[in-house]
Structure 1
Amino acid sequence: MNVKTTVTLSDEDLRFAEELVEAGRFPSVSDVIGEGLARLRLEESDSDPVAGMADEIRRRMELPRDQFLPWDGEVIAKRIKERLAQKRGE
């Protein structure tokens, strides 16, 4: 169910929302606002994988250095490149 309400935006925010609509990224300013709220809802959600990952990184940073997990940046970068290539069908 949709409920009609009034929202006050700054001139700058309104211009930005209208530009997104003009560019075809959203059908209306209302949809721009709705997307912003949906993203905020995700940030607040415990099921957000990025927030969960950030919490895990913080937890691990509190561990003594001798308990840090080894990390090889070259191996990780190679895996990421391989996955991106698979998604592109290379």
Structure 2
Amino acid sequence: MSVKSSISLSDQQDAFARGLVEQGRFSSVSAVIQNGLDLLRQKTEAEEVETAALKALLQARLQGDFVPATEMDDRVAAMMDKKRRNARVDS
């Protein structure tokens, strides 16, 4: 099911969306907007999951044993390295 909605785009946004259609990357400006909203939804959901995980981690840390700052720095660096490897992101 689709819902018709009226939106306003800046000249720059409109030109970009129309350019994507002209390049054949999307069938219409609506398809460009739909794809953008899907990406924003995915990003928002990922941020919510990350926030919940961070809250759980903080709660566990508050209830757990004290970890010296240097050891925690090493743990955080290791977690970030693992995440970068999994996402194949170079720093």
TM-score normalised per structure 1: 0.57
More helix by share: 2
Unaligned runs of 5+ in 2: 58-66
**Contiguous gaps of at least 5 residues in structure 1:** 85-90
Inter-partner Cα distance in structure 1 for 2:39 and 2:12: 20
Q: SS in structure 2 opposite 1:20?
A: helix
Cα RMSD of the aligned pairs, angstroms, is 3.3
**Superposed structure 1 runs of 4+ greater than 4 Å apart:** none
**2:70 aligned residue:** 65
Deviation at 1:5, TM superposition (A): 1.3
Give the deviation of 1:65 after TM superposition: 2.0
Aligned pair 1:17/2:17, yes or no? yes
TM-score by length of 2: 0.56
**Count of paired positions:** 68
The whole-number CA distance in structure 2 between the counterparts of 1:27 and 1:9 is 18
